[in-house]
Chains A and B, each alone.
Chain A
Amino acid sequence: MSYKCSRCKRDVSLDGYGGVRCPYCGHRVLLKERSQDVKTVPVQ
């Protein structure tokens, strides 16, 4: 899962042990980024 810290704007990846916290600045608000996967959408 890739997130972005809402304060320092750096990319953050969470490992499940460190809790929800930016490892660079300690900020607790992280924004979820869109996945890099190609998304297939049917047109209907």
Chain B
Amino acid sequence: MDEEYDVEFIEREERSAKFLVRGVTPAFANGIRRAMIADVPTLAIDEVRFIENSSVMFDEQIALRLGLVPLSTPPNEFDEDDVVTLSLDVSGPATAYSGDIVSSDEMVQPAEENVPIIDLKDGQRLELEADAVLSTGKDHAKHQGGVSVGYRHLQRVETVGDRGEFEDVDPEIYRGVIQEGDELVDTEEFDHDLTNRYPDQEVAVEDVEHAFVFSVETDGSMSVEELFTRAVESLDARAAELEDAVSL
């Protein structure tokens, strides 16, 4: 298949983006989606050593909460066996937040500073050390870099005639991105209802083949661009492995 790939950003922010990919097959689009969710590794706390915990919660409960704090994961800096040590020491009365976690590695920081871990009352104290490791979402959801990853077909909208003047108009709800001629329009612009955009016309809507609009949101451990690139890389790595194994 020598199809032309084309990527176009529709929305682009630090942690979320919407972009159109042309030229991919449904199988490939789904492979990328799945790889973004389950196969791109991120750092997350995997072992906690409690030095003092006089809070009202069990060590295990606090450990679980710590595991879910997203940590920034710089690309190509860590291997699966690497360990980053973090520590936390908060005395009550205070709330321990993810931002209180002190990292031994400047590159690895909590991606979110305002995740409450536990409220400590007067006299209570939490002191611990934690090890963060690199792993994939397949292993545990705390290692999932993509928190919301999906795609929809791009849809082509064409006017096919006028609507009868006294006809009852039912809403025509579409969510995603539509194509009008060469123009891409987010359905948000007309409240997802085509009858708002074409009040007097009949329209025909059809999926554009091999064109998918990805909506991706990350947990902050890496950018959307990073996540996508590494998901594609992981597919490539597996294809390379298969190619090697078969050619032997």
The 8 closest A-B pairs by CB, nearest first: A43-B67, A41-B63, A39-B50, A43-B63, A41-B59, A41-B48, A40-B49, A38-B49
Residues of A close to B112: CB separation below 8 A: none
Task: Give the docked Cα–Cα distance between A40 and B45 (Å).
Answer: 13
The residues of A with any CB-CB pair to B shorter than 8 Å are 34, 38-44
Q: Are B140 and A41 in contact (CB under 8 A)?
A: no
Task: Give the docked Cα–Cα distance between A41 and B50 (Å).
Answer: 8
Task: Give the docked Cα–Cα distance between A23 and B190 (Å).
Answer: 80
Q: Are B49 and A39 in contact (CB under 8 A)?
A: yes
Residues of A close to B47: CB separation below 8 A: 40-43
Task: Give the docked Cα–Cα distance between A41 and B66 (Å).
Answer: 11
Rounded to whole Å, the gap between the CB of B48 and the closest CB of chain A is 5
A-B contacts, 23 of them at CB < 8 A, read: A34-B53, A34-B54, A38-B49, A38-B51, A39-B49, A39-B50, A40-B47, A40-B48, A40-B50, A41-B47, A41-B49, A41-B59, A41-B60, A41-B63, A42-B46, A42-B63, A43-B46, A43-B64, A43-B66, A43-B67, A43-B142, A44-B64, A44-B140
* Given A43-B45, A43-B142, A44-B140: A38 in contact with B50 (beta carbons within 8 A): yes
Task: Give the docked Cα–Cα distance between A43 and B132 (Å).
Answer: 10
- Tell me the nearest residue of chain A to B66, going by C-beta: A43
Residues of B close to A39: CB separation below 8 A: 49-50, 53, 59
Residues of B close to A38: CB separation below 8 A: 49-51
Residues of B close to A42: CB separation below 8 A: 46-47, 63
CB neighbors of A among B35-65 (8 A) = 44-51, 53-54, 59-60, 63-64
- Tell me the nearest residue of chain A to B132, going by C-beta: A43
Rounded to whole Å, the gap between the CB of A40 and the closest CB of chain B is 5
Task: Give the docked Cα–Cα distance between A38 and B51 (Å).
Answer: 5
Task: Give the docked Cα–Cα distance between A26 and B151 (Å).
Answer: 72
Residues of B close to A41: CB separation below 8 A: 47-50, 59-60, 63
Residues of A close to B142: CB separation below 8 A: 43
Rounded to whole Å, the gap between the CB of A16 and the closest CB of chain B is 28
Task: Give the docked Cα–Cα distance between A43 and B141 (Å).
Answer: 12
Task: Give the docked Cα–Cα distance between A38 and B49 (Å).
Answer: 6
Task: Give the docked Cα–Cα distance between A40 and B60 (Å).
Answer: 10
CB neighbors of A among B60-80 (8 A) = 60, 63-64, 66-67
Rounded to whole Å, the gap between the CB of B166 and the closest CB of chain A is 64
- Tell me the nearest residue of chain A to B47, going by C-beta: A42
Residues of A close to B45: CB separation below 8 A: 43
